[in-house]
Amino acid sequence: ETGVTQTPRHLVMGMTNKKSLKCEQHLGHNAMYWYKQSAKKPLELMFVYNFKEQTENNSVPSRFSPECPNSSHLFLHLHTLQPEDSALYLCASSQFGATGELFFGEGSRLTVL
């Protein structure tokens, strides 16, 4: 099992669809993150969960809804997205309180038509 697994790797959706991105980590970490990476822009932090509790919501529109049912799983629920939301969405995990080294998944490339 790889450390951090994201599914699906590619997703195409219309603006009225509802879909979800899934992230699973097998590293025993207690912190999980969603990042957005748009073309030519730095990674942007979206959400942080520490010990399953959301500790950061970086002014993300409500059409993105995170869910963290346990410390190993993280979801990003998507609804009524806009074409400008097309980007690579990356999940990461770390052990809060330790060195803080981040472990990333392969990303989910989202295209909104």
Query: What are the start-end ranges of the E strands in the chain?
Result: 4-7, 10-13, 18-25, 31-37, 44-50, 53-57, 64-70, 73-79, 87-94, 103-104, 108-112
Strand 31-37, strand 87-94: pairing: antiparallel
28 binds other proteins (CB under 8 A): no
Q: Which of residues 52-111 bind other proteins (CB under 8 A)?
A: 55-56, 88, 90, 92, 94, 96-107, 109
Note whether 42 binds other proteins by CB under 8 A: yes
Round to whole Å and give the CA distance between 91 and 34.
5
Measured distance CA(5)–CA(62) in Å, rounded = 25
Minimum distance, C-beta of residue 24 to other proteins, in the bound complex (Å): 15
Stretch binding other proteins (CB under 8 A), from 17-25, 31-39, 60-68, 76-84: 31-39
Rounded to a whole number of angstroms, the minimum distance from the CB of residue 39 to other proteins is 11
Site size with other proteins, rule: CB under 8 A = 29
Q: Transcribe 1-13 into DSSP letters.
A: --SEEEE-SEEEE
Give me the residues that bind other proteins (CB under 8 A), please.
31, 33, 37, 40-43, 45, 48, 50, 55-56, 88, 90, 92, 94, 96-107, 109
